[in-house]
Amino acid sequence: MRLAELSERSGVSTATIKYYLREGLLPPGERLTATKAEYGEEHLRRLRLVRALIQVGRMPVATAREVLKAAEDESLSQHLRLGAAIWALPHDSEPDEDGADAPEAARAREQADALLERIGWGCNPETGAPSPAYRMLVEAIASLARLGYPHDTDHLLPYARLASELAVHELDVVETYDTPTEQIEASVALTVLYEPVLLSLRRLAEAEESGRRFGEA
């Protein structure tokens, strides 16, 4: 397809597509002449992923480029490619282990490790740099502790079990895509797109349960 058709099918303006091409977010098309190129379904799929990263994930172009670079690294196994791509996604702030909360962060790490061991996940941060998701978990536990809310393993275990079920479901969806690259792209896109779905459903569920428990008869 030509650029105009790619724009029409993707819903992305030709000017934006040209910008993505210049910034390396979209691979170049097959050159036909000095001024014309042919684009394929892989370009359409990539455009959808880029839109998910930038418009929904609200990440800078440079960060999106880093995520895409990790997803394209065919020297890695499928598991490591997926991990590298998800690792490159933006994450919340990390614990300040050098500040006044260092002892608190250390206790939070102990609790995070206990939770991971209890659920049986092989996420051992001692094997290398802790993943951003692990650091987010530590910060969340530390915040709960600072504010005096439940944060012990028994309280957090149901969240971990629900997360396990979600991971199985999402990767089942990812495996419906044909090629390793499509699977990586789908996994990254769904990670970005489903997080607001999860947040909204959780809040709707809490409102529904609150109505059942505390609503007027």
Q: In tens digits, what is the pLDDT along the chain, a chain of 217 residues?
A: 899 999 999 889 999 999 999 999 998 898 888 778 999 998 998 898 898 888 888 888 988 888 888 888 888 888 888 888 888 777 665 445 444 457 788 899 999 999 999 999 876 544 456 788 888 999 999 999 999 999 999 999 999 999 999 999 999 999 999 888 888 888 888 888 888 899 999 999 999 999 999 987 5
If one counts the domains in the chain, the total is 2
* C-alpha–C-alpha distance, residues 70 and 73, integer Å: 5
- Please say which residue of 87, 109, 144 terminates a domain: 87
Q: Model's pTM, two decimal places? A: 0.78
> Percentage helix, strand, coil, to 5, in the chain?
70, 0, 30
Kindly report the CATH number assigned to the domain that includes residue 13. 1.10.1660.10
3-class DSSP state of 33:
coil
Q: Are residues 147 and 206 in the same domain?
A: yes
